[in-house]
Amino acid sequence: MNSETDHQPVRTKPWGFGMHSSEEFGEEEKALVLGVLDKKRVFRFLGSDKEQSEAFRLERLYRERTGAKHALAVNAGTSALVSALIGAGVGPGDEVIVPAYTYIATAAAVLLARAVPVIVEVDDSLTMDPVALEAAITPYTKAVIPVHMRGVPCRMDEIMEIAGRRGLVVIEDVAQANGGSYKGRALGSIGRAGCFSFQQYKLVTAGEGGLVVTNDDTLHERASIYHDSAFVYWGMNAQNKQPAFPGENYRMSELHAALALAQSGRIDAIVSRLRHIKSSITAAIGDLPQIRLQPIPDPQGDVSYSLVFYLPTAELARRFAQRLAREGIPNGTIDNNGFADRHIYKNWTYVMEKRGASERDTPWNCASYKGNVEYSQDMCPKTLDWLGRAIAIGLHQHMTDEDCDDVIRAIRKTAAAF
């Protein structure tokens, strides 16, 4: 490894890819957003004609995409999770199982529903370990939130079997996997409900926004009531049969809905391109004995914007990542970004410390809760081990064959040095 060629990085030009979503902004987004302004209708319940509402059109699109009976547009992915939990009857005294690797909002949504999050290990797919899920079930467990992390579908067959046998509600967190599937079924359509996010870091964006899909009439009606404190009083929602109860104001504006609607029309094309890019890279590095590719529970359903592989130890992963970066390919071990990554449970400070908005009354100490969940920084050692040994490379739909070749050559060159 001492030749002059070996000291020349594989890639010298910048890795100049932006976000998946906003990089696609174009005439469709402009037309729909300006159309809202032309109609002078930025609030979805202005007037009785649903067909004039972009939020209604967005909901219809996701009903068609997922095959779900109902869809409810809200103002954020977290709002979608909270609304779905409330819709499913989750509340004080209940426990909800969440994976140790997900954005903090998943656990926060459980707390906002006044339930207690129970954190379990992920496996080498970096999604919820079904074995850990079953081991964590107690008499107080009401629901489980599998998270399709980094666009990778969870092991839904195993999770659904356990949930069905143990009587648990399954609410899929699809925030990072819009456009993904599992064995031919759209992610979000497998559990009792599925929750999407349109925040700017997601595959499609409205800046902020979210959506709940479900086939459960009661869950949809209760979620609708909760997402709008006056929902049952709008004339166009008189068909809701559930009794009124206090809710939030999580409604999505027509401007956000228009942007999400335009962006959502591009999902399939973006995902198709990403799958081509990822498969071409993995096919060219799968023979390397120095690394182990992340297993995908259903490769055909992977959204494919993240390439992850493992080294035998965290120290080797750190060195490999540094060498790969010198070859011109931005990457990182998932747990060494130089800041407290809020996707990793040990950095969910207010959860670890059982700290609520009120010191006197939290989901952990309220009179309704009879369980005793404890948290610690090292409670999920398998998760921390997988994350410590993982190297992630972000993929983008605008990558060319030349860009893919740079990634392949850089990984192979780095592996040869190990």
Q: Could you tell me if residue 102 is inside a domain?
A: yes
Q: At 79, list the tokens.
A: 């709002």
The span from the CA of 26 to the CA of 292, in Å, is: 39
CATH number at 188 reads 3.40.640.10
User: Count of CB atoms within 10 A of residue 299's CB?
Assistant: 14
Q: What's the number of domains the chain is made of?
A: 1
| 341 DSSP assignment | -
- Cβ atoms of residues 187 and 62 within 8 Å: no
Q: Which residues of the chain have pLDDT under 50?
A: 1-4
Give the model's pLDDT for residue 126.
Answer: 98
**Adjacent-strand bridge partners of 144:** 97, 170
| Backbone dihedral angles phi then psi of residue 416, each to the nearest 5 degrees | -65, -30
Give the model's pLDDT for residue 341.
Answer: 86
Q: At 124, list the tokens.
A: 């080498």
Q: Could you tell me if residue 365 is inside a domain?
A: no
Q: Could you tell me if residue 22 is inside a domain?
A: no
CB-based contacts of 177, cutoff 8 Å, min separation 6: 148, 149, 151, 152, 153, 187, 303
| 242 DSSP assignment | S
Give the model's pLDDT for residue 114.
Answer: 98
Q: Could you tell me if residue 313 is inside a domain?
A: no
The span from the CA of 221 to the CA of 238, in Å, is: 11
The span from the CA of 80 to the CA of 211, in Å, is: 6
Of 305, 304, 334, 330, whose CA–CA distance to 317 is shortest? 334
Q: At 290, list the tokens.
A: 């120095």
Q: Could you tell me if residue 153 is inside a domain?
A: yes
**Which residue segment(s) compose the domain that 203 sits in?**
27-266
Can you list the positions of beta strands (E) in 1-114? 70-74, 95-99
Please, what is the Cα angle at 211 between 210 and 214, to 5 degrees? 155
The span from the CA of 88 to the CA of 67, in Å, is: 19
Q: Could you tell me if residue 147 is inside a domain?
A: yes
Q: Could you tell me if residue 193 is inside a domain?
A: yes
Active-site choice (142, 202, 278, 346): 202
Q: Could you tell me if residue 254 is inside a domain?
A: yes
How buried is residue 3: exposed, middle or buried, by Cβ count under 10 Å (0-12/13-18/19+)? Answer: exposed
The span from the CA of 307 to the CA of 324, in Å, is: 14
Give the model's pLDDT for residue 3.
Answer: 47
The span from the CA of 152 to the CA of 89, in Å, is: 28
Asked about 202 being catalytic, the answer comes back as yes
- What is the distance of C-alpha 124 from the center of its chain? 17
pTM, two decimals, is 0.96
Kindly report the three-state secondary structure assignment for every residue of 369-385. CCCCCCCCCCCCHHHHH
Give the model's pLDDT for residue 328.
Answer: 97
The span from the CA of 150 to the CA of 188, in Å, is: 15
Buried b (16+ CB within 10 A) or exposed e, 13-42: eebeeeebbeebeeebbeebbeebeeeebe
Give the model's pLDDT for residue 235.
Answer: 67
CB-based contacts of 207, cutoff 8 Å, min separation 6: 198, 199, 200, 256, 259
Give the model's pLDDT for residue 2.
Answer: 44
Give the model's pLDDT for residue 332.
Answer: 82
Of 274, 323, 58, whose CA–CA distance to 151 is shortest? 274
CA distances from 95 to 78, 227, 230, 267, 360 (A): 18, 22, 29, 34, 19
The span from the CA of 39 to the CA of 314, in Å, is: 56
Of 261, 260, 224, whose CA–CA distance to 243 is shortest? 224
The span from the CA of 401 to the CA of 379, in Å, is: 42
